[in-house]
Structure 1
Amino acid sequence: MRLKVFKNTVLLFVSLAISCANQVKSDIGLSGNKEGSGLSQTTVKNDSSIIVGANQTEAYLPILKGKHIGLVANQTSVIFKNDNNSATKIKEYTHLVDSLLSLNIVIKKVFAPEHGFRGTSDAGEIVRDGIDTKTGLPIISLYGENKKPSEEHLNDLDILVFDIQDVGARFYTYISTLHYVMEACAEKNIPILILDRPNPNGHYIDGPVLEIEHQSFVGIHPVPVVHGMTIGEYAKMINGEGWLKNNIKCDEVRVISVKNYSHTTPYSLPIKPSPNLPNDTAINLYPSLCFFEGTNISVGRGTENQFQIIGSPNFKIEGHDYEFTPQPNEGAKYPKHKGKPCYGYDLTNHKKLNNLNLGWLLSFYNANKVNASEEGFFNSFFTNLAGNESLQQQIENGWSEEDIKKSWEEGLNSYRLMRAKYTIYID
């Protein structure tokens, strides 16, 4: 048995080398890709000793052999070929689907989250079912009419594999997809295998804890905005805390953990996790700036600096004359304030955040009042993002950032105690 697993592992890396060398362009846009087509900027050199779950084939190939597999995946679901010490400084990879198929692993279907299998759909855009023209595999959308696999979808599966890069924010919907996938697996007694990846915002925990009455797809669990967990740890917490419908639990949640990683280990994503998070700066600023999605302020969608610039046509204050004009582009077909000059802040060179920043939100809110905009500052989506009604009320009542953050302390302390039961990596 050991010899067979060894041969399979050798075969995998041979196929990876061939695939990367040929740089085959598949219809899913993933075989033979390089880092240059992922993040447009990198500010962190990854520790070459970090080994993501997908790269540890020796740990999970024996689990998958002879089984019918369902795979929850997108463009980040890859096996990396060369390490960070490579003379080329280009990180080559092949998609997990291609790699497993080359080993005669039986993949029956692929489930796609928000932004789709290729990760190019707009935020909130319905993702359609389809067929991958390269492999012939059916692609089942989990961001359309159904956000949960149906019983029919799972009837022919023995195990489901989840491998998606997350960014560690409660309103990033991949953890909501994880929830519904686990719920479907629990109802069918199908085991789930998590191929874990680092959390680029795993170095801190911050924000208000969601109140259950404000559950939505951008906030489904009672956790803070920045939860400080990897997907693997988060899956254990969902199961352990009984958060699935009717307190049902998955009989088996197996995690292939990241090697040589801690929550404080800096990690630069080699592939952008969604169209509007193009680099490390955007990913780091995202938890703080996403609140603006519930306001009349643009976060740079429709530019090349998404989640690194913020502005509004109504924001004109002396000393803050940065200007940009959103236009339709990939990932933002209908950007907020399309074609209108927006004035605000350029944060493209901002230092790395180790906590949530509310200062920008308060600044724009106060400027909006001064400029007497006819358009209201907040919209109904803000409550979903905050996970409560309190944050908007506190801002409207003139609370300081310090006082707002003090109101989060009790919830954060309780959350840290709960989280400690499920952590795989040290803080």
Structure 2
Amino acid sequence: MIFKRLAPVLASFALLISVTGFGAIPRAKVVLGDEVFLRSTWHDLNGRCVGVVTNQTGVTSQLVNIVDAIRENPHICIKAIYSPEHGLRGDQLAGHFVSSYRDPRTGLPVYSLYGPQRMPTAAMLRGVDVLLFDIQDVGDRAYTYISTMAEVMKAAARYHKSIWVLDRPNPIGGEIVEGPALDPHFRSFIGLYPIAMRHGMTIGELAEMFNNAFGIHAHLRVVKMIGWHRSMLWNQTGLRWVESSPNIPTWQTTLVYPCTGLIDNGGINNGVGTAKPFFYAGYLGMPAYSYASELNAAHLPGVYFRPAAWSPFFGFWRGRELSGVELYVTHPHHFRSVETAVELLVAGHRLMPRLRINARGMDNDWGTDAVRLGLERGESAAQIINGWQPALARFMQLRAKYLLYPN
């Protein structure tokens, strides 16, 4: 009876939505590479079958998953899905191996590229002619999605497949480049090639660099975006952010990740395990007001430090109250995230000399031992930062050859 009385109201509301577009996702300012592919580039497949390297971030501006969108086109043959760290749905914690399985929704095999096997094998590529890579990166060398892309490119070269990278924005922009270039002695899956920590490139630009400068030599095609330029931050694209991993829930987190993601092995907690991962910096008993005062006195561009306390709800410090600072990025276009990480480390160790460094972990995170050694020698932040400038200048020269978008 109640439903019968409400039925005309519900029908009118449904009509209102259909007429006004209420509830629809507004059109973005940027046309993503996957949308260019779905609109037109797919014709160039000429009947060849694809395998898709993706996860939960591989969506169009309307938040349609790339695999679902491809399956809507009866002329595209799709054979397999490949998933990176955190899995196809992005629900696995950092560093956890992910198993392969068959996707119940599509019936397609999902091959994990974050487990014992990080490069697709011949068996995984059976029946696939073209690999499509559609994953949202965060603009930081240590984030493993670009390493997965490199391994997929190597497999494409080895097994004579084509690879098309469906380009996406760098959420923290394409203008600021900072941090040490990777020292090859510290090569790992969180840093395969000698690029800067904050590289200021899109995944498509990186793919071109990896392919040509670092000798992969795959049959590569970058499907470019339309409307993106280097000064754009994520919030200027009109796109919706999909959590890229459990500790990168918002696009704003990508601003601080290249900063506080570099301090935990230097002995300073970064808030992972709280509702604000990567927005904190501190330790058990850290004098919060002194830490904030010293950092704010440095007048670092684009950031303010608030004295803060927090208690992680998982991890080593679960249930313990830590103190230090909360980072407020006041001017994202000016915020120097990697340089700020050095300031946090230097000030933190000055205030609390008992902070313990995980030498191997810190060197792997930074891609060099120079930062750790400078910290242990008591060097200033400026001295440590100046030490990486020659290698950074060489990277900038190389980078200029592979930029696909204007300022």
* TM-score, length of structure 2 as denominator length: 0.84
Residue type at the aligned position of 2:389: E
Q: 1: CA distance between counterparts of 2:123 and 2:351?
A: 53
Written as runs of structure 1 = structure 2, the 5 A alignment for 1:235-384 is 235-244=207-216, 249-250=217-218, 252-268=219-235, 270-319=241-290, 321-328=307-314, 335-348=315-328, 350-352=330-332, 353-355=334-336, 356=338, 357=340, 358-369=342-353, 372=354, 376-384=356-364
Q: C-alpha root-mean-square deviation of aligned residues, in Å?
A: 2.1
**Unaligned runs of at least 5 residues, structure 2:** 1-17, 293-306
Q: Secondary structure of 2:64's match?
A: strand
For residue 350 of structure 1, report the CA deviation from its aligned partner.
Answer: 4.5
Q: Secondary structure of 1:151's match?
A: coil
- Tell me the residue number matched to 1:63: 44
Moved more, 278-287 or 226-235: 278-287
What count of residue pairs does the alignment treat as equivalent? 360
Q: 2: CA distance between counterparts of 1:349 and 1:407?
A: 26
State yes or no: 1:392 paired with 2:372.
Answer: yes
Moved more, 262-271 or 209-218: 262-271
- Tell me the residue number matched to 1:163: 134
Using a 3 Å threshold, how does the CA distance of structure 1 residues 163 and 394 change in structure 2: closer, same or farther? Answer: same
Query: Residues 203 and 354 of structure 1 are in contact (CA less than 8 Å); yes or no, is this contact kept in structure 2?
Result: no
Structure showing greater Rg: 2
Post-superposition Cα deviations, 1:398-426, rounded to whole Å, max 9, x if no partner, equal 21121222112211111111111111012
For residue 114 of structure 1, report the CA deviation from its aligned partner.
Answer: 0.7
Q: Secondary structure of 2:111's match?
A: strand
Q: Secondary structure of 1:94's match?
A: coil
Query: Residues 262 and 362 of structure 2 are in contact (CA less than 8 Å); yes or no, is this contact kept in structure 1?
Result: yes
For residue 34 of structure 1, report the CA deviation from its aligned partner.
Answer: 9.2
Q: Secondary structure of 1:125's match?
A: coil
Residue type at the aligned position of 1:394: G
Using a 3 Å threshold, how does the CA distance of structure 1 residues 317 and 94 change in structure 2: closer, same or farther? Answer: closer
Moved more, 122-131 or 62-71: 62-71
Q: 1: CA distance between counterparts of 2:69 and 2:46?
A: 13
Query: Residues 298 and 336 of structure 1 are in contact (CA less than 8 Å); yes or no, is this contact kept in structure 2?
Result: no
Using a 3 Å threshold, how does the CA distance of structure 1 residues 288 and 349 change in structure 2: closer, same or farther? Answer: closer
State yes or no: 1:103 paired with 2:73.
Answer: yes
Q: 2: CA distance between counterparts of 1:77 and 1:99?
A: 10
Q: 1: CA distance between counterparts of 2:251 and 2:278?
A: 10
For residue 348 of structure 1, report the CA deviation from its aligned partner.
Answer: 4.4
Q: 2: CA distance between counterparts of 1:293 and 1:142?
A: 26
Query: Residues 193 and 214 of structure 2 are in contact (CA less than 8 Å); yes or no, is this contact kept in structure 1?
Result: no
Q: 2: CA distance between counterparts of 1:306 and 1:351?
A: 20
Post-superposition Cα deviations, 1:69-120, rounded to whole Å, max 9, x if no partner, equal 1100011101223xxxxxxxxxxx2101011111122211111001111111
Q: Secondary structure of 1:261's match?
A: coil
For residue 293 of structure 1, report the CA deviation from its aligned partner.
Answer: 3.1
Query: Residues 365 and 377 of structure 1 are in contact (CA less than 8 Å); yes or no, is this contact kept in structure 2?
Result: no
Query: Residues 288 and 325 of structure 2 are in contact (CA less than 8 Å); yes or no, is this contact kept in structure 1?
Result: no
Moved more, 312-321 or 136-145: 312-321
For residue 223 of structure 1, report the CA deviation from its aligned partner.
Answer: 0.7
- Tell me the residue number matched to 1:84: none
**Unaligned runs of at least 5 residues, structure 1:** 1-20, 22-32, 36-45, 82-92, 329-334
Q: Secondary structure of 2:151's match?
A: helix
